[in-house]
Amino acid sequence: MYGFDTIEIIAFIRQFGLAVSGAASLWGLVFIFYKHVGRQAHSRHVVLDWISWKMLIPFYVGLIASFVGWLIYESMLPLYAHEGIIIVPDIAEKIAAGVITNPVYITWFVLNACAGIFVFVKREKTIGHLKIFFGTNLAFIFFLISLPAWVGGINYTQLFHIGHGFHSIFTFGTVVVLDFLFLLSFSSFLLKEHIYPLFPLISKVIWIGLGFDFLSVSLVFDDAIRLIPKFYFMQTVVGVLIINGILLSGPITRKLIESVSIGGKAISRKWRTFADIAGTISVASWSSITFIDFFEDIHLSYKQLLLCYGGLIIILLIGHRVWDIVNPFQHEVVSIDE
């Protein structure tokens, strides 16, 4: 219906899982290293350890999603670039990639199934080893997400597949993790004090990821462009992403950081709303273009795609409001603030 094939939805779930797990590993590592920068009080170590520990939530959500997607259909599906460019690997290329990645996928899942049991049962003993945990997983995921197809050698097409694969960790996965961190810190000044200062770094990583995507597309642009509603929709959303990214990484981030700086003013309701909307637009945009990427023949017009995009933004904003009311980590956050 409307060109949405079930198996293509499964491919998106797999990509979503790898991107989110990879981003959770990346930013879990960043928070672990961040606590060793400068002279941090013991209380700061506790907070940063807590944030790193919470990165296990998006990590395991992503792990399960990606493994289920791979288990249902392990061969790779046609790959579409975020700008609406289409490169379709043939069956032989997908099978070749599967021969290489399937053993790695099984090893990755088995290791994390065992590690997960130990980590959650022996939390106090394992929290000091999260650096190894996240670092190892980031290496696994980087390899898996970079090889959706194998053409038999390194050429422009293969570089496109590699670049277009791993950038999702820095873009789609990172904006999901960033939104999780933003929600996590909703009701805690102490968490905001540690999370907000990293927003400029997170923004830079997202921009770098988008740059990798553009670079990979430039390698195959002339051979892959198709001027269809999907293409024009992608151009629109990328344009929104760039404008929204400039606002989010500029004045909005400055206001957020000022609100937790010494002598700074608490952020006003207006700027809090701006940050909420901008973050939601970022998540909705990357979710939309990543999802649409996996469908070759979408039977939706440009206006219908925009309507779905706008609907997703509204749904995510409502989700933010619901989280603010029923925050499942409220008790833990109160304990940290005390």
Count Cα atoms within 13 angstroms, Cβ side, for 288: 29
Q: Tell me the pLDDT of the chain averaged across its residues.
A: 80
CA 202, distance to chain mean position in Å, is: 11
pLDDT above 60 for 80: no
pLDDT single digits (tens) 124-157:
666 677 888 999 999 999 998 888 767 766 777 6
In a domain, 329, yes or no: yes
Q: Has residue 270 got a pLDDT over 80?
A: yes
Contact between 177 and 198 under an 8 Å Cβ cutoff? The reply is no
Paired strand residues for 87: 79
184-218 pLDDT, tens digit each: 887 788 888 888 888 889 989 998 888 877 777 66
In this prediction the pTM is 0.83
pLDDT of 335 reads 59
Six-digit token string for 337: 């603030």
Number of structural domains found in the chain: 1
Q: 300: domain range?
A: 6-337
* Confidence label for 62 from pLDDT (cuts 50, 70 and 90): very high
User: Within 10 Å of residue 84's Cβ, how many Cβ atoms?
Assistant: 24
Buried b (16+ CB within 10 A) or exposed e, 210-225: bebbbebbebbeeebe
Determine if residue 38 is left, alpha or beta; phi over 0 gives left, psi from -120 to 50 gives alpha, anything else beta: left
Please, which pLDDT band fits residue 290 given cuts at 50, 70 and 90? Answer: confident
Q: Which residues are registered as beta bridge partners of 86?
A: 80
Residue partners of 48: CB distance under 8 A and separation at least 6: 31, 32, 34, 35, 40, 194
86-113 pLDDT, tens digit each = 555 656 677 777 778 889 999 999 999 8
Residue the block writes with tokens 């997202």: 206
Look at residue 82 and tell me if it is in a domain: yes
Q: How many residues does the chain have?
A: 338
Whole-number pLDDT of residue 78: 47
| Residue 264 scores a pLDDT above 70 | no
The CA distance from 147 to 182, in Å, is 31
The neighbour count for residue 43, using CB atoms within 10 Å, is 10
**Local confidence band at 79 (pLDDT 50, 70, 90 cut-offs):** very low
| Residue 197 contacts residue 40 (beta carbons within 8 Å) | no
Answer whether residue 296 shows pLDDT above 90.
no
User: Which residues lie closer than 8 Å to 185 by C-beta, 6 or more apart?
Assistant: 191, 192, 195, 196
pLDDT at 81 exceeding the cut of 50: no
Distance CA 196, CA 248 (A): 12
Q: With CA atoms as reference, report the closest residue to 279 among 174, 164, 170, 187.
A: 174
